[in-house]
Structure 1
Amino acid sequence: MKELKMFTFSQIKDEFIGKIGTDKRTAYEQELQLEILGDIIRKVRLERNLTQEELGRLIGVQRAQISKLENNTTNITMETLLRVFKALNAKVNFNVELLNNGVSIAQ
C-alpha cells in the first residue's frame, strides 16, 4: 500500500496560490482578512445585542448595508469601518509594516 504524503497548509498555499510576497498571494491574504473583518463585525454586533437595523441607525446607513459588510459583499471605506467599530464601542488598531527600504518616485 502506497503511503500518503502529508503537506502543511502553508505548503499548499505556496503551491497553489503562490509564495509569500507574490501579487496573487498578497491579494489572497488581503481578501481573507476582509472576510474575517465581516465576521468580527457580526460577532461584536451580536455580543452588543444589536440588530443590523439598529447598528445601521447608529452609523447612518440602511440595514442592507450592514448585511453587506458582514457578508463581505461590498467594499468598505476606512471612514465607515471606524464608524462601525465606534458604534460597537470597540477599539481599532492598525499595524503598518514597511516591506522594503526604498521608495522611488516616477518622473
Structure 2
Amino acid sequence: MTTKNKELEVFTFDQIKDEFIGEIGTEKRTRYERELQLEMLGEMIRKVRLERNLTQQELGELIGVQRAQISKLENNTTNVTMETILKVFGALKAKVNFNVELLNNNEQIA
C-alpha cells in the first residue's frame, strides 16, 4: 500500500469569510461584522463584571435595570442603546472609547 503526498491548499480567514459570508461591503458581510462586534461587547461586559466581583443582579441595580437585562446584554440577545452601554461601563469603572471610521461612505464601528 502506497500513499501519495498531497499538498493541501491553505486559505486565510478573510478568504473564507469572503467565500462563505460575502465580500467586504456586501450587506451580509456588514451584518456579520456588526453582530460579531456586539457579541464581543457582551463578552467584554461579562469579563469586566466578573473581574469586579459583581453579579448580574448587582450590576443591574447599579444602573437601574433588572438582572435579566444584563444577561441579555452579555449574551447579545437584545437591542441595546449607547446610553445603556455607557451606564454599564460607567458602573464597572471602565473607560469606553468608540472609533467610527467612514470608508468609501460605508460606516464602520471599531
So what's the TM-score if we normalise by structure 1? 0.89
RMSD of aligned alpha carbons: 1.1
Q: Which structure shows the bigger proportion of residues in strand conformation?
A: 2
The total of aligned residue pairs comes to: 101
Aligned residue identity for 2:98: F
Shift of 1:75: 0.8
Q: 1:66 aligns with which of 65, 70, 74?
A: 70
Distance 1:12 1:96 in 2: 26
Q: Which runs of 5+ in 2 are unaligned?
A: 106-110
The 5 A counterparts of 1:1-107 are: 1=4, 2-100=6-104
Distance 1:96 1:42 in 2: 24
Percent of matched pairs sharing the same residue? 82
So what's the TM-score if we normalise by structure 2? 0.87
